[in-house]
Amino acid sequence: MVLSTGIIFGVETFKKAKNNLHVTILSLIILVGFYISTLSIFNSI
């Protein structure tokens, strides 16, 4: 559920930020960091 919310957020952010490359790159970095942190939390359980 958390991961799908993150993906939806990333897609919506990308749609809004298509014209702004810096915001797109920043949102991708945030999404990757969010994904990695979610995986590490899942692995530690």
pLDDT digits (tens, 9 = 90+) for 8-26: 877 887 777 666 777 778 8
Q: Give Cα 38 to chain centroid, integer Å.
A: 11
Q: How confident is the model at residue 29 (pLDDT cuts 50, 70, 90)?
A: very high
Helices then strands, each counted (H, E), the chain: 2, 0
Contact residues for 1 (Cβ-Cβ < 8 A; gap 6+): none
| Model pTM score | 0.47
C-alpha to C-alpha distance for 32 and 18, rounded to whole angstroms:
18
Over residues 30-39, mean pLDDT:
89
User: First vs last Cα of the chain: how many Å apart?
Assistant: 16
DSSP state of 34: H
> Percent of the chain having pLDDT more than 70?
84
pLDDT for 26: 83
